[in-house]
Chains A and B, each alone.
Chain A
Amino acid sequence: MTCLVAETEELAQARRLVFLALLIAVAVTVHTVESLLPTPVPWLRLGLSNVITVIALYLYGGRAAWSVSLMRVGLGALLLGRLFSPGFWLALSGCLVATSAMVLLYRWAGPRMSPIGISAAGAAGHAFGQILAARLLVVQHAAIWQIFPLFLLFTIGSGVLTGWVAAMVLEQIAKHPIFQKGKIEKVCDETP
């Protein structure tokens, strides 16, 4: 068996697809489990599934992050039977703003930001998106913005927390040979 460059490319593509599928599966699971846990206030969740979005962003870039976050919201809503319910629109709006914030910040700042900062920005975007949707769809008056600062403060905390988890996971993943370009080629070379 020979190992051509083209094949390596194909392999990398397939690996990427499999990994992305895996990440989406994990994100949907985490999202669903987290939705089922009791919370003191309906909106206050840690947003652990954002860990996966951040990982996808760092491993495969903006498009991957978009796929993970959108699939998470869509599949999560399907699983919980909340598709097109007010809660779904809140989640979708939060996810759109959060992912935009993270992807843009990542693109602009790149290595100058660690997953923690990206995640904090995403969490803030998530809070904003949710309140925006709530203002438009559920509550319909401006008073709702009065809770935004407190919500934002909480969400920055949870963003740092999830970013920290993402940073640790990414550190572990990065040690694996398949994420180290040189090593993979070496592995390939050694297979006759």
Chain B
Amino acid sequence: MKLPWSYMTVGDWLVITVLIVFAVAGMAWVAGAPVGSRLVVSDGDRICFTATLDQHRTVELEGPLGRTRLVIDNQGARITGSPCPRKSCMTMGPARQTGDLLACVPNRILVRIDGERKKDSPYDLLSR
């Protein structure tokens, strides 16, 4: 049995190399690109802040009542501090899927995840 290399010509090597380079570059591009999701914060009318989800950072958002603290990490985006009375925005779990929403109604902070919808998402909307 002859090994594959003994059959291969320069042309073969060229074609295979080009294909592998293409695949590896594609993989690097997929890994480097954001998960397809962006975080958009608005005050109900205007967008006041946007960021990609592939980062770790804390943002202080200014609302009519004061500052709402938003944390972005590998779990998604969460509100960890808010001047509103009920703090229900802080219990609204991390938002990471397209369409997920975090809202602080009193402080008028609306955090939404935008982007292409994942096909494996089990539901379109959450009834709560």
Do A and B touch each other in the complex, judged by CB within 8 A?
Answer: yes
Binding site for B on A (CB under 8 A): 105, 109, 112-117, 120-121, 124, 139, 141-144, 146, 148-150, 152-153, 156, 160-161, 163-164, 167-168, 171
Q: Is the CB of A156 within 8 A of B16?
A: yes
Pick from B7, B26, B117, B118: contact of A149, CB below 8 A: B26
Q: Is the CB of A156 within 8 A of B20?
A: yes
Main SS of chain A's interface residues? helix
Query: 8 other contacts beyond A105-B15, A113-B9, A171-B2, with CB at 8 A cut-off?
Result: A109-B11, A114-B7, A120-B12, A124-B19, A149-B22, A149-B30, A152-B23, A167-B4
- Complex alpha-carbon distance, A74 and B104, angstroms: 58
Q: Hey, which chain A residues are within 8 Å of B19, CB to CB?
A: 120-121, 124, 152, 156
B interface residues, how many (CB within 8 angstroms): 28
Q: Is the CB of B119 within 8 A of A114?
A: no
Q: Is the CB of B7 within 8 A of A146?
A: no
Q: 6 nearest interchain CB pairs?
A: A117-B12, A149-B26, A149-B27, A152-B23, A164-B4, A153-B23
Q: Which residue of B lies closest to A138 (CB)?
A: B119
Least Cβ distance of B35 to chain A in Å? 9
- Complex alpha-carbon distance, A115 and B7, angstroms: 8
Does B36 interact with chain A (Cβ within 8 Å)? yes
Q: Hey, which chain A residues are within 8 Å of B7, CB to CB?
A: 114-116, 164, 167
- Complex alpha-carbon distance, A70 and B78, angstroms: 54
